[in-house]
Structure 1
């Protein structure tokens, strides 16, 4: 198709595979990488659409059960606060949002590379808090899966239940913020040419990530994923500073 950036699509595919294996979700990679090709608000719109197909794929491929209690405790607060974050994103300058995103990626990755044993207590209060924070971050910055993954990890779920439950919650979040982003004007007609590609990438990337996950221990790949997140965060901040001559 005319004017389609295939390097961007390749990076989106890699983001989906790595996000599935690492357990952080693809948006933690997709959003900062997308910022190299599109404006920040366009990336938010594309992320929501991309994730809808990605998470449907995960729900289908990891369909060994859902944890209904976590869907309520984490999912419902996430949906409420992704709407709040999505609305607020319209009133915050994109430069500031990109800086916050870069610093968030750096801080998050360093924290868990240094304190790999850090985790939340598996109780309802922390589940709700994680849902609020991850939903708000997803709406404002485009990514919140890493926070939700950390929250859910405390409950020691079987791997397929973890992925399916996380994907179901993520689907609820993406479905809600798609309407907010559309109303905000983030979903542009000239970007819709990427949607069919992203739908296919979401399915194939998730499938491949699931296959690789059967051979690579998630704990080992988690550290590698954190290293990628750190590098992406540093590059994101560096790019912003260079572009704005700071």
Structure 2
């Protein structure tokens, strides 16, 4: 099977933007991957890609972990990613892609319009944020933005924030990899991309960390939201027009 180089370039861009913007690479990687692979294959590749990406973040941003959030946000995330991954088996790919497009549109508009949106730093909100982000990650492949919104309420130092988010995300990805494997989402013919994606996860995280030193995260966050909005629109329009995969 021939490797699509342009897809790998997009994966690298997704990792850099996800690291700097604070949303995680899956919010870009999943919809972009849908232009090249079927939705189920993208879910499987995303889980494997994220394992490397999150290990890199934990290592590069190792400034301590927030144990409260790992317990009250991380545990429900893991439980509900199993539920979301299991449910994805019973929805066809058109519905899943449409839900993803609507999710991206709603998410980006919410953050762009309500720039000062905050969640109260409570145990209840941590449990709820973990459950929703985990379920979304299992069903649609991405839930980092919801987790980020919940975590932002605790006003952590940037490196602690990223390391804690990456640790929780690693727990989610490790769990859903088994669920997706059982679902048959990890295909032999897609495994050729795995070594490249593992390397991209490391390189993209490293580049994202370097960029964070020179450019305020807030500016990149706005740029990321605009890109998420555009990707969401393209995803929905593609479905309505009935276009298949795109090749370059």
TM range (shorter): over 0.9
Partner of 1:39: 38
Structure 1 residues 10 and 244, CA gap change in structure 2 (3 angstroms): closer
The CA deviation at 1:244 is 6.6
- Which secondary structure state, in structure 2, belongs to the residue aligned with residue 66 of structure 1? coil
- Which secondary structure state, in structure 2, belongs to the residue aligned with residue 215 of structure 1? coil
Partner of 2:222: 223
Q: Where in structure 1 do 4 or more consecutive aligned residues deviate above 6 Å? A: none
Q: Take 2:150 and 2:123, find their aligned partners in 1: how far apart are those partners?
A: 11
Structure 1 residues 219 and 45, CA gap change in structure 2 (3 angstroms): same
Partner of 1:88: 87
- Which secondary structure state, in structure 2, belongs to the residue aligned with residue 90 of structure 1? helix
Q: Map of 1:176-187 to 2, 5 A cutoff?
A: 176-187=175-186
Q: Take 2:111 and 2:137, find their aligned partners in 1: how far apart are those partners?
A: 20
The CA deviation at 1:94 is 1.0
Partner of 1:137: 136
Q: Take 2:67 and 2:206, find their aligned partners in 1: how far apart are those partners?
A: 24
- Which secondary structure state, in structure 2, belongs to the residue aligned with residue 38 of structure 1? coil
Q: Take 1:244 and 1:171, find their aligned partners in 2: how far apart are those partners?
A: 33
The CA deviation at 1:227 is 0.3
- Which secondary structure state, in structure 2, belongs to the residue aligned with residue 138 of structure 1? helix
Partner of 1:26: 25
Q: Take 2:129 and 2:153, find their aligned partners in 1: how far apart are those partners?
A: 11
- Which secondary structure state, in structure 2, belongs to the residue aligned with residue 168 of structure 1? helix
Partner of 1:205: 204
Partner of 2:105: 106
The CA deviation at 1:155 is 0.6
Identify unmatched segments of 5+ residues in structure 2.
none
Please give the TM-score of this superposition, normalised by the length of structure 1. Answer: 0.98
Partner of 1:158: 157
The CA deviation at 1:171 is 0.1
Q: Take 2:96 and 2:149, find their aligned partners in 1: how far apart are those partners?
A: 22
The CA deviation at 1:221 is 1.1
Q: Take 2:197 and 2:5, find their aligned partners in 1: how far apart are those partners?
A: 11
User: Cα deviations across residues 13-68 of structure 1 (Å, max 9, x unaligned)?
Assistant: 00000000000000000000000000000000000000000000000000010001
Identify unmatched segments of 5+ residues in structure 1.
none
Q: Take 2:118 and 2:7, find their aligned partners in 1: how far apart are those partners?
A: 34
Q: Count residues with an aligned counterpart.
A: 244
Q: Take 1:26 and 1:243, find their aligned partners in 2: how far apart are those partners?
A: 26
RMSD of aligned Cα (Å): 1.0
Q: Take 1:112 and 1:13, find their aligned partners in 2: how far apart are those partners?
A: 24
User: Cα deviations across residues 106-144 of structure 1 (Å, max 9, x unaligned)?
Assistant: 011011101100110011110110000000000000000
User: Cα deviations across residues 135-175 of structure 1 (Å, max 9, x unaligned)?
Assistant: 00000000000100111011100000000000000000000
